[in-house]
């Protein structure tokens, strides 16, 4: 890309010869390696020569203009700050409900539900695999009754506080519960907004909370797209997630490439199901990680917007600018937090949050300092939220749109992220698409390899983790953590028994039967699930009904 044609002496080459070389002779650089946390080599200096191939109008453009590299809003954060959406959930629905009320009182502007593993895996608390897991990593939601408790006193028709739900395999079941609770609150489905994660592809790639095989899982998702485009038009039907891919050990580039390619797969499946691109793509949103390498992350977000806009316009022929505009939530990197010297995690999180903001995130979660040890306490969750408020209201970075735009380094890095992504897309396209690539274990293998390489770099001391492999402290005092005992499990078990005694079990059988029939055929599963939910069928029962028809997915583990 650099034009050094005919051996002409560029400015940078002259500088290297006349200024740099004598300096290096006198005082050599540190040992390095000078690479990002993802292993990408970084040069010591970037100049105008590194961005010669970039055309401002075509590749960067002003904010609010295609391809949106500098942002989707012309006013950036001067118009509206990002949504401060803290992911939270533990124990019983009542305990989590209280935490939400605390977060709103502390100035949080969105809710984000963390479910426990039995809920995420479509198992009731009385299933043998639920042993010891109920209410531990999130809130336990068994039936509509729990959803009613979770949102008690929280108005679901308030456009100022929207809710995001991190649920994937049983996304349609939980979404159906939310819709029924919204109805009970008197909210109009055509007016409510919120998000379900509903991204099964990254579950197969990274987080592994899958239930059904890939193709049946994709059908549940296109059913939601179709249902929402008519019934709940403002709902964000999917949050295509790179977060978990990154946490599983991918590089920054792999996170970007696989996540956007997952997005393309969903769009393709929607189109194949007969939907018009501009009817459902504007409701797709994204979710990225913000890891510790500051500039690489910022370049990632900028490249993401450009890649998506161009793919929607050129690959799918989308005409509505809202289909081109990539909106995303960011969470700071949980995996970067250390159990050692946990207060250092506040600093890590602040830097990662700043990168997300400089990259133009639309919504942000900041992790708490104790998350390598346990779920956060009320106090640590508050510090995490305050971190965002300090960036928003004290640092001054929100005064200007895309402050790093035009930086030789950032623009060059953005271009490199884009080119690397296009290469990954070519490979995946050749395999026939992301579903096929996953079935071959391709992205899984790429992530496992990157994760091992990083660990090796840490072991060799090439990558420093403060307090872990350097600057170690031996006289640490333990901090107080949130400890979840078995009270929740016992309570939820009692409630499940009680539910099965008091509900209309004929209605449950009837609606579950209709769900199975629908799943065998081509009916949209959403209305059938709404009937099951209204009859107080449990998450486990609804998932079991579909397991019976579709079977379960089992992966071949890749080390």
Partner 1 sequence: MSQKIRVVIAKPGLDGHDRGAKVIARALRDAGMEVIYTGLRQTPEMIVAATLQEDADVIGLSILSGAHMHICPRVMELLKEKGLDDVQVVIGGIIPDIDIPKLNAIGIRGIFIPGTPMQQIIDFITANARARV
Residues of this chain that interact with partner 1 (CB under 8 A) are: 117-118, 120-121, 123, 128-133, 136-137, 203, 207-210, 247-249, 335, 338-340, 372-374, 448, 451-452, 455, 459, 465, 467-469, 478, 481, 483-484, 554-555, 557-559
How far apart are CB 543 and partner 1 at their closest, in Å?
12
How far apart are CB 371 and partner 1 at their closest, in Å?
9
Report d(CA 549, CA 520) in Å as an integer.
Answer: 7
Residue among 104 and 339 whose Cβ is closer to partner 1: 339
How far apart are CB 75 and partner 1 at their closest, in Å?
39
How far apart are CB 414 and partner 1 at their closest, in Å?
28
Report d(CA 62, CA 57) in Å as an integer.
Answer: 8
What's the number of CA atoms in the CB half-sphere (13 Å) around residue 414? 30
Q: What's the Cα-to-Cα distance from 208 to each of 213, 258, 369, 439, 520, rounded to whole Å?
A: 12, 15, 25, 13, 25
3-state secondary structure of 332: strand
How far apart are CB 487 and partner 1 at their closest, in Å?
13
Report d(CA 447, CA 558) in Å as an integer.
Answer: 10
- Residue 422, phi then psi, degrees to nearest 5: -60, -35
Residue among 277 and 374 whose Cβ is closer to partner 1: 374
Q: What's the Cα-to-Cα distance from 323 to each of 63, 248, 280, 389, rounded to whole Å?
A: 16, 29, 8, 30
Report d(CA 481, CA 166) in Å as an integer.
Answer: 23
Q: Are 342 and 479 in contact (CB under 8 A)?
A: yes
Which residues have C-beta within 8 Å of that of residue 118, sequence separation ≥ 6?
124, 125, 127, 129, 130, 133, 134, 140, 540
How far apart are CB 338 and partner 1 at their closest, in Å?
5
Residue among 168 and 361 whose Cβ is closer to partner 1: 168
Picking from 119, 115, 110, the residue whose alpha carbon sits closest to that of residue 154 is: 110
Residue among 115 and 178 whose Cβ is closer to partner 1: 115
Please report which residue ranges of 432-538 form alpha helices under DSSP H: 434-439, 442-459, 487-502, 505-520, 525-534
Residue among 129 and 400 whose Cβ is closer to partner 1: 129
Q: Phi-psi region for residue 68, left (φ > 0), alpha (ψ -120 to 50) or beta?
A: left
Residue among 497 and 555 whose Cβ is closer to partner 1: 555
How far apart are CB 22 and partner 1 at their closest, in Å?
41
How far apart are CB 124 and partner 1 at their closest, in Å?
12
User: Two tokens at 67?
Assistant: 């391809």
């Amino acid at each position: 890309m650099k034009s050094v044609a005919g051996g002409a002496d560029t400015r940078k080459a002259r500088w290297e010869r006349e200024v740099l070389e004598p300096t290096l002779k006198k005082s050599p650089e540190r040992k390095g390696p000078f690479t990002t946390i993802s292993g990408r080599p970084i040069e010591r200096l970037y100049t105008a020569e590194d961005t010669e191939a970039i055309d401002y109008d075509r590749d960067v453009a002003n904010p609010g203009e295609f391809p949106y590299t500098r942002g989707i809003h012309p006013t950036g954060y001067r118009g509206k700050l990002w949504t401060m959406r803290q992911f939270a959930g533990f124990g019983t629905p009542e305990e989590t409900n209280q935490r939400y009320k605390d977060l709103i009182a502390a100035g949080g502007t969105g809710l984000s539900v963390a479910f426990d593993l039995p809920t995420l895996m479509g198992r009731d608390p009385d299933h043998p695999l639920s042993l010891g897991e109920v209410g531990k990593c999130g809130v336990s939601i068994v039936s509509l009754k729990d959803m009613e408790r979770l949102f008690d006193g929280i108005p679901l028709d308030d456009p100022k506080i929207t809710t995001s739900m991190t649920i994937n395999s049983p996304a349609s079941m939980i979404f159906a519960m939310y819709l029924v609770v919204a109805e009970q609150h008197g909210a109009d489905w055509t007016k409510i907004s919120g998000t379900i994660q509903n991204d099964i592809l990254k579950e197969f790639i990274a987080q592994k909370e899958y239930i059904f095989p890939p193709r049946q899982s994709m059908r549940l998702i296109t059913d939601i797209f179709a249902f929402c485009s008519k019934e709940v038009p403002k709902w964000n039907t999917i949050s295509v997630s790179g977060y978990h891919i990154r946490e599983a050990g991918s590089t920054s580039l792999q996170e970007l490439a696989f996540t956007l390619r997952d997005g393309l797969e969903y769009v393709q499946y929607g189109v194949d199901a007969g939907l018009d691109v501009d009817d459902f793509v504007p409701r797709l949103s994204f979710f990225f990680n913000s890891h510790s390498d500051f500039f690489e992350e910022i370049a990632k977000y900028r490249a993401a917007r450009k890649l998506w806009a161009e793919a929607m316009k050129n690959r799918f022929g989308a005409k509505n600018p809202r289909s081109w505009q990539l909106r995303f939530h960011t969470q700071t990197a949980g995996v970067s937090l250390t159990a050692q010297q946990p207060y250092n995690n506040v600093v890590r999180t602040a830097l990662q949050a700043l990168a997300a903001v400089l990259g133009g995130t639309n919504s942000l979660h900041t992790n708490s300092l104790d998350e390598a040890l346990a779920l956060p306490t009320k106090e640590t969750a508050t510090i995490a939220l305050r971190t965002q408020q300090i960036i928003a209201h004290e640092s001054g970075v929100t005064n200007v749109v895309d402050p790093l735009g035009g930086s030789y380094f950032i623009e060059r890095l953005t271009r490199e992220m884009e080119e690397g992504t296009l290469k990954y897309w070519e490979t995946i396209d050749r395999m026939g698409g992301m579903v096929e690539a996953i079935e071959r274990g391709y992205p899984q293998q790429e992530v496992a390899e990157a994760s091992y390489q990083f660990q090796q770099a840490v072991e060799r001391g090439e990558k420093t983790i403060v307090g872990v492999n350097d600057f170690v402290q031996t006289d640490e005092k333990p901090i107080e953590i949130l400890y979840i005992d078995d009270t929740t499990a016992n309570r939820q078990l009692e409630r499940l028994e009680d539910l099965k005694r008091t509900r209309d079990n004929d209605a449950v059988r009837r609606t579950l039967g209709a769900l199975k029939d629908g799943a065998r055929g081509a009916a949209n599963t959403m209305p059938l699930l709404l009937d099951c939910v209204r009859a107080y069928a449990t998450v486990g029962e609804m998932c079991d009904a579909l397991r019976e028809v579709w079977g379960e997915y089992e992966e071949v583990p890749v080390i």
